[in-house]
Amino acid sequence: MSDNTNKTANTAGLRGALSGPLEAVRTHWDRAPGWERWAVYVLLVIGALFLPYQGLAPAMSPESDWQTILFYPIGIYVLLALGLNVVIGYAGMLDLGYVAFWAIGAYTMATMAVKHGIGFWPLLPCGIVLAAVSGVILGAPTLRLRGDYLAIVTLGFGEIVRKVAENTDWLGGTRGVNNIPHPPSHEGVWFLGVDLFTYKIRDARPYYYLLVALIILVVIFSKRLEASRIGRSWTAIREDEDAAEIMGVPTFKFKLLSFATGAAIGGSAGVVFAAKTSYVAPANFPFLLSATILAAVVLGGAGNIPGVIVGAFLVAWLPERFRGLADYRDLAFGAILVAMMIFRPEGLIPSRQRKAEMAEGGGGMGHMGAEIDTSGSEAEVGSR
């Protein structure tokens, strides 16, 4: 018993040590004037632009091509994690099949470009819309479910999309689709030694910059949503769905919206991915990837954009960085995740509100956690 209390105290102490300086930064940031914030934003963007610098490569990724892994997995993971954050972080719904929306975006680009010769730029909005629509199609019948039940259904959806791609000849079956055209190039716009709009196979940097642009757009979009009436209703749904409904929040509609928004962001990542790699196959979209993106969101701090970005970066980068450890890297990665959940269960850079939710005992994950509807949700699932 006393041993147990000791342990708890220890853990708490370590947590405190970890969060102390970070808290100070957070408090400062919350009070920071507008110009200071903008300065930091600009610096961050400049940092992102200089990231592909070859001089960083030996330190960041001795084993593989730094510029390539900056696009995939790092950039793609960040974009996907931002999309999943809208579903998990804002509305608190556990989606285990998120990779399906990425796949839908990628296959939109692949099939339409190869079979119908449509270009990248018209297909980008197409992929986004198609993914959003599939999000609505999945959500409409399933969003009555909560928590674990929703998780299982979305998991199934992810697998269905992959299996359909595997077994449809029109989509290339297991071999996938080859020779997907790159985006059209406009040569001669040089920036930091990169021919910025020349999308060829060799140089990954223009694609990376395309991703950076998308990520910035998504961040602005998410931030605006978070602060809006929609964002507030998502928070209410996450914290107590029944209470939200009796406050007059049309919960079903807003859950659907969150699903569609997340799906749309995933779709955009898919289109860019297919255009860069010029090859997609069902094997690119395993369940494991959904789980990895989920890990990125939770590890970083669901609901908080800087946290989610850092989480996705680490989850994508660490295994590449320690490629030399061969198979042990997965073990090490797993150990890091477990350690994180013990010492910082709310994530690396959690949203303050979520911390309060966790402290209250709701698990801080909204309907993601073990929250069980008090009045017999099991029976309800059966009846619906």
- Residues of this chain that bind another protein (CB under 8 A): 232-233, 235-236, 239-240, 242-252, 353-354, 356-357, 359-362, 374-376, 378-380, 382-383
CB of 256 to another protein, least distance (A): 14
User: In the chain, which ranges are continuous DSSP H helix?
Assistant: 2-31, 34-50, 57-60, 66-69, 76-85, 99-116, 120-142, 147-167, 205-227, 229-239, 241-246, 251-277, 287-300, 305-321, 328-343, 352-360, 377-383
User: Strand, coil or helix: what is 116?
Assistant: helix
C-alpha distances in Å from residue 327, one per residue of 310, 312, 330, 331: 24, 21, 6, 7
CB burial class (10 A; 0-12, 13-18, 19+) of residue 334? exposed
Rg of the chain over Cα atoms, rounded to whole angstroms, equals 21
Q: CA 280, CA 184: separation in Å to the nearest integer? A: 19
Which amino acid is it at 238?
R
Residues 6+ apart with CB under 8 A from 246: none
Choice between 344 and 355, CB closer to another protein:
355
CB of 82 to another protein, least distance (A): 21
Structure-token pair, residue 18:
């970890």
